[in-house]
Amino acid sequence: MEQLVIEANIRKETGKKFARQLRASGRIPAVMYDEAGKATSLDVDTVQFNKVWRNITATTLVTLQADGKSYDAFIRDTEYDIKTDSVLHADFFVVSNKKPVVRTFRLHYDGTPAGVLKGGFMVRHIPEIKVKSLPKDMPVRVSVDVSNVNIGDALLVKDLDLGKNVTVLTDGEEKIISIAPAR
């Protein structure tokens, strides 16, 4: 996946009045938090931020460039105004890529199980899994290929291949899906 870059300016001014002025000029007020909890106030370009924000997941690592320095960061939170269809504020969480993080992923299913094509029913057992890895190795999403599962078979968590640098914390014997015979 291409590296997503958001350019930012460090700002000293804060408050509602200044935030309104920023938004009127096409910028979004933002805050960058590091692993120690230190906060730095930023502002980012509205158009550039929206291009990135609308095409990522919560585990997509972006490059935040602020005043000549580059940081790997997750977009942790946004304040969104549904009436005006605009982002009012953004929070970035900067990571060092030296300390593993734990994330929960909702499972996405690819394909149609062979057992379903033969008249069976797909039973979903767990909707999500928990994984641990360095931020740079974190998958963007977890897609499960279910096309080879037949009637009476089950796909287990241990059958997932997320790469050698990703540790699945969910019990490996948990069933993701199974195919039940027709009644």
Share of the chain above pLDDT 90, in %: 25
Per-residue pLDDT, 1: 46
Sheet containing 121-124: give its strands across: 121-124, 175-180, 154-156
The pLDDT-based confidence of 182 (bands split at 50, 70, 90) is confident
Top-confidence residue, 136 or 90: 90
Q: pTM (2 decimals)?
A: 0.72
More confident residue, 162 or 58: 162
Q: In angstroms, how far is CA 94 from the centroid of its own chain?
A: 14
C-alpha to C-alpha distance for 41 and 12, rounded to whole angstroms:
7
Return the pLDDT at 177.
92
pLDDT digits (tens, 9 = 90+) for 77-126: 899 889 988 888 999 998 887 888 888 888 999 999 988 899 989 999 99
pLDDT reported for residue 95? 86
Confidence of residue 75 (pLDDT cuts 50, 70, 90): confident
Q: What is the pLDDT of residue 66?
A: 87
- Residue pair 139/130 in contact by the 8 Å Cβ criterion: no
**Model confidence band, residue 2 (pLDDT cutoffs 50, 70, 90):** low
Across the beta sheet with 142-145, the strand order is 142-145, 101-110, 128-133, 167-168
The CA-to-CA distance between both ends of the chain, in Å, stands at 44
| C-alpha separations of 148 from 52, 117, 123 in Å | 35, 11, 15
Mean pLDDT of the chain: 88
Q: Are 165 and 137 in contact (CB under 8 A)?
A: yes
